Amino acid sequence: MPKCLVTGGAGFIGSVLVDKLIKLGNEVICIDNESAKNEIFYWNSKATNIKENILKFEKINKYFQDVDFVFHLAAESRITNAIENPTHTYEVNLIGTENILKSCLIHNVKRFVLSSTSSVYGLNKAPNVETDSFDCLNPYSLSKLFSEQLSNYYCKNFNLPVTILRYFNVFGVRAPSNGQYAPVTGIFMKQFKQNESLTIVGDGSSLRDFVHVDDVVKANIMFIDQKQKIEFNDTFNVGSGENISVKSIADMISNNQIFVPPRPGEAKITLANIEKIKKVTGWMPSIFITKWISDNI
C-alpha cells in the first residue's frame, strides 16, 4: 500500500485528493495549518491529520518517514493577499516549498508533485503550451514560478523525481466562495443560492478554461507509478482545453447581475493546450463547466 503525503490537504483541491487517495487504498498523511481563510476545512478522519505550518521544517520533516509520494498543494494562493503582502507570499510559496523538497530528499520520496498555476503564462497568446515564456502579472504567479524553478533544481541536481502541474481555473464542490479572488463559479453559486446579484468583473468578456476538481485530482494520481517513468519529470498543463466567457457562465446561473471594475493582475484569456499530459499519461478531462452548472442549479 503506497504511503502518500498531501500538503494543503484540508483545502479545496487537497481535500478531494486526500479523499480519493484513501478511497484507492493508499495510506495518507495530511498537513494543513488552516491559513487559507476558507469557510470550511475538510479533514478526512481516515488520514493521519497534522495541523502544522510548512515553514516549520523541524516540525514537519518527521512525517515524511517512509512516504512514497508527496503532493504539495499548500500555498498562499489569494491574489489580494499576495499583492498586499508579497513578502509573506514569497515566504510561504518558496521557503515552504524548499522545506517540502528538502524532506522529500532526506526521506527518499519516490516522487514530488507540485501544484502550480497557469497564471505563470500571463498575457501569452492562448492556447498556452508548457514551453511558453513566463509573464507573471502579480506576486502570486511570480512565487509559483519560483517554486517551479526550485523544484526543477532539486530534480536536476539531486535526482529527486519531480512533476509540476499547472492548473487552469479549477471549479467544483468545496470551492471557496469568500473573497473577491475566490473561484468565480464558487462566488456565483453562493450568490445565486442566497438570492444575491452575481458580481461580474469588468464586462464579463474574459475567457476562462475551467477544469473540474475531480479531473485535477485524477491528473495528480496519474503520476503515482512504482516504475517512475523518466517522462514524468516534466511540467504539464491541467485544463479542459476549452474556454468560455465569465458572462456566459453568469447567464447560465441567473439574470440578476451587477458589474464591478476590472481587477489588476489578471489575464484576459486562459486556455490550456493539454496534448502533453494526454500523450504521457492518457489523462483526459471528463467534467465540463456547462454540464456541471446545469446539474447544480
The reply to whether 94 and 189 lie within a common domain is: no
The reply to whether 119 and 186 lie within a common domain is: no
The DSSP-derived string for 216-285 is HHHHHHTT--TT--GGGSSEEEES-S--EEHHHHHHHH-S-EEEE---TT--SB--B--HHHHHHH----
Which pLDDT score is estimated for 182?
Answer: 64
The reply to whether 196 and 231 lie within a common domain is: no
Q: What is the CATH number of the domain that holds 181?
A: 3.90.25.10
Whether the CA torsion 267, 253, 170, 139 is positive or negative: it is: positive
Write out the chain's pLDDT in tens, 297 residues: 899 999 999 999 999 999 999 999 999 999 999 998 788 999 999 999 999 999 999 999 999 999 999 999 999 987 878 888 999 999 999 999 999 999 999 999 999 999 999 999 999 999 999 999 999 999 999 999 999 999 999 999 999 999 999 999 999 989 887 655 567 888 898 899 999 999 998 999 999 999 999 999 999 999 998 778 999 999 999 999 999 999 999 999 999 999 998 877 788 999 999 999 999 999 999 999 999 999 988
The reply to whether 121 and 183 lie within a common domain is: no
Domain count, the chain: 2
The reply to whether 112 and 257 lie within a common domain is: no
Q: Tell me, yes or no, whether 99 lies in a domain.
A: yes
Which pLDDT score is estimated for 177?
Answer: 72
Check 140, 154, 167, 181 and give the catalytic one. 140
Q: What is the CATH number of the domain that holds 49?
A: 3.40.50.720
Eight-class DSSP state of 114:
E
140 is catalytic: yes
Which pLDDT score is estimated for 266?
Answer: 81
The reply to whether 140 and 199 lie within a common domain is: no
Q: Where in the sequence is the domain holding 262, given as residue range(s)?
A: 171-209+241-272+286-296
The reply to whether 133 and 187 lie within a common domain is: no
Which pLDDT score is estimated for 226?
Answer: 72
Q: What is the pTM of this model?
A: 0.95
Contact 46, 21 (CB under 8 A): no
Q: Tell me, yes or no, whether 119 lies in a domain.
A: yes
Burial of 58 (0-12, 13-18, 19+ CB in 10 A): exposed
Q: Tell me, yes or no, whether 279 lies in a domain.
A: no
The reply to whether 28 and 75 lie within a common domain is: yes
